[in-house]
Amino acid sequence: MIKIVVAGFKGKMGMTATKMVRDHEGFELVGVLDPHAKETNLNELAEFSTVDVPIFNDKETVVKTVKTDVWIDFTIPSVAYENTRFALEQGIRPVVGTTGFSETEVNELVNLSQKQALGGLIAPNFAIGAVLMMQFSAKAAKYFPDVEIIEMHHDNKLDAPSGTAIKTAEMIYAERGEHQQGHPDEKESIPGARGADYHGMKIHSVRLPGLVAHQQVQFGSTGEGLTIRHDSYDRASFMTGVALGCEKVMDLKELVYGLENLL
């Protein structure tokens, strides 16, 4: 049984992680942390009424009170760096989903983890399916340089292309480099038809009510096509990746950045 603490348990992701740890048969939830929580035990909350687990308000009390192997962190950027450093110093393996770490911060934390010979994971994206989609796309691009990305999201999303689409394009670019696609003389009779151009590959952003988060990476070659698609229907999908992270960090000897390095 891996003993786990969840920091930031009152946020949406933290709450989902708390439930995942409670339900996972290989994990033991030994505590949860939130500086503003007024309750002192999870069983004071309606949805955890039978779960006898202490709620802490500060990290120092956590380590004084319970023994823990893994520190799951879904707090906020301004707190996550301190938490991660603290966990490593205390010999606890961090599994961090909070985003916003600078490169310098990540490097410091990796160095610290190496000194401690302690595993850890910081992952901006815990969706295993999305990470596999990106890895497979990068590999396929070695053989099929012609590729377009179609990403589809609900219509209250503000940015286009999505972060995942851009990350995928970067990984494909790293494999195949610059490559002119389409006919050199192609013309758009309505601007934007051919999508966003990223080093020659095209990205198309679909926004419709009803959609959740979907991406299709489509490769074409003489007489054939290869398509890799990821559909995300629910935030709960991230938890498969968080659980995998908690298991893998037990065997690692340093902190790694990105779930892809564990797959």
Q: Please, which of residues 93-112 interact with a second copy by CB under 8 A? A: none
Q: Please, which of residues 114-133 interact with a second copy by CB under 8 A? A: 127-130, 132-133
Considering the complex, what minimum distance in angstroms separates the CB of residue 3 from a second copy? 23
For residue 254, how many other CB atoms are within 10 A of its CB? 17
User: Exposed e or buried b for every residue in 64-81, given b needs 16+ CB within 10 A?
Assistant: eeeebbbbbbbbeeeebb
230 binds a second copy (CB under 8 A): yes
Interacting residue with a second copy among 85, 211, 247, 258 (CB under 8 A)? 211
76 binds a second copy (CB under 8 A): no
153 is catalytic: yes
Considering the complex, what minimum distance in angstroms separates the CB of residue 263 from a second copy? 7
Packing angle, helices 128-143 and 163-176, rounded to 10 = 30
CA dihedral 78, 79, 82, 85 (to 10 degrees): -110
Beta carbon nearer to a second copy, 105 or 231: 231
174 three-class SS: helix
Interacting residue with a second copy among 112, 157, 179, 200 (CB under 8 A)? 157
173 binds a second copy (CB under 8 A): no
DSSP 248: H
Spell out the long-range contacts of 61-64 with Cβ–Cβ below 8 A and sequence spacing 24 or more.
62/5, 62/31, 62/33, 63/90, 63/92
Q: Are 199 and 173 in contact, with CB atoms under 8 Å apart?
A: yes
Q: Please, which of residues 18-47 interact with a second copy by CB under 8 A? A: none
160 binds a second copy (CB under 8 A): yes
Packing angle, helices 103-116 and 77-89, rounded to 10 = 20
Instruction: State the Cα angle at 84 between 83 and 90, rounded to 5°.
Output: 90
The two structure tokens encoding residue 71 = 């520190």
Considering the complex, what minimum distance in angstroms separates the CB of residue 108 from a second copy? 29
Q: What are phi and psi of 26, to 5 degrees?
A: -95, 0
Considering the complex, what minimum distance in angstroms separates the CB of residue 7 from a second copy? 23
Beta carbon nearer to a second copy, 31 or 241: 241
Interacting residue with a second copy among 239, 246, 249, 256 (CB under 8 A)? 239
Interacting residue with a second copy among 11, 108, 235, 258 (CB under 8 A)? 235
Q: Is 142 annotated as a binding residue?
A: no
Write down the catalytic residue from 157, 179, 199, 214: 157
Interacting residue with a second copy among 197, 250, 253, 261 (CB under 8 A)? 197
217 three-class SS: strand
Q: Is 67 annotated as a binding residue?
A: no
Residues tagged in the binding site annotation: 8-13, 34, 38, 97-99, 123-126, 154, 163-164
Catalytic positions, written as ranges:
153, 157
